[in-house]
Amino acid sequence: MHYIQQPQTIEANSFTIISDIIRETRPDYRFASPLHEAIIKRVIHTTADFDWLDILWFSADALEQLCDALRHPCIIYTDTTMALSGINKRLLATFGGECRCYISDPRVVRAAQTQGITRSMAAVDIAIAEEEKNKLFVFGNAPTALFRLLEHNVTVSGVVAYR
């Protein structure tokens, strides 16, 4: 039996297919920049959903700020283990960064029960209390985590969120 076995070749072929579909179905679509294109196509690749062409939004200079933050030692806090699993931790470590997900941390479980809040909210509280300087947050499916971060009214290096 003959089939492609090399992961890089499979991935490259997948991105070629995505590009072809965009070109065929949305010939007038233009990406704001090569970085926007890479990110949007990665999201489409991950989700198999071309609607992201229309619904993925980036605030002004967000990508540049995120790239700058990722070039330095940083901590990426995620709201779910699923979001955590999608981050290339080996690559992040080459820049001195690491990931943390506190959703199942006993401190979070206890705080959520005691305060009557979601675990995602309690996880944000713990992350904010940490002394780390370069903090990024990735929220995949917990809008209460995003709202809690906004309630803290703190400056962080970046936020990636789905609300």
Specify whether 78 is located in the same domain as 127: yes
Residue with tokens 């010939």: 27
Residue range of the domain that includes 128? 62-161
Determine the Cα–Cα distance for residues 32 and 22; give it in Å rounded to an integer: 15
Q: Specify if 1 maps to a domain.
A: no
Q: In 28-41, which positions are buried (b, 16+ CB within 10 angstroms) versus exposed (e)?
A: eeeeeeeeeeebbb
Instruction: Give the total number of structural domains in the chain.
Output: 2
pLDDT digits (tens, 9 = 90+) for 7-59: 999 999 999 999 999 999 999 999 999 999 999 999 999 889 999 999 998 98
Are 27 and 49 within one domain? yes
pTM for this predicted structure: 0.85
Task: Catalogue the active-site residues.
Answer: 45
DSSP 51: T
2 in any annotated domain: no
Query: What are the residues whose beta carbons fall under 8 Å from the beta carbon of 11, sequence distance 6 or more?
Result: 45
- Which tokens in the block code for residue 143? 């809008």
| 17 and 69 both lie in a single domain | no
pLDDT of residue 163: 60
Are 30 and 89 in a shared domain? no
Same domain, 99 and 31: no
Distance CA 97, CA 78 (A): 14
Q: What is the DSSP string of 111-151?
A: HHHHHT--HHHHHHHHHHHS--SSEEEEESS-HHHHHHHHH
Closest Cα to residue 65, out of 160, 130, 144? 160
What CATH number has the domain bearing residue 151? 3.40.50.10230
Instruction: Note whether 33 and 113 are same-domain residues.
Output: no
Q: Answer with the residue of higher pLDDT: 20 or 83.
A: 20
Q: What is the pLDDT of residues 107-132, one digit of tens each?
A: 999 999 999 999 999 999 999 999 88
Let me know whether 71 and 130 are in one domain.
yes
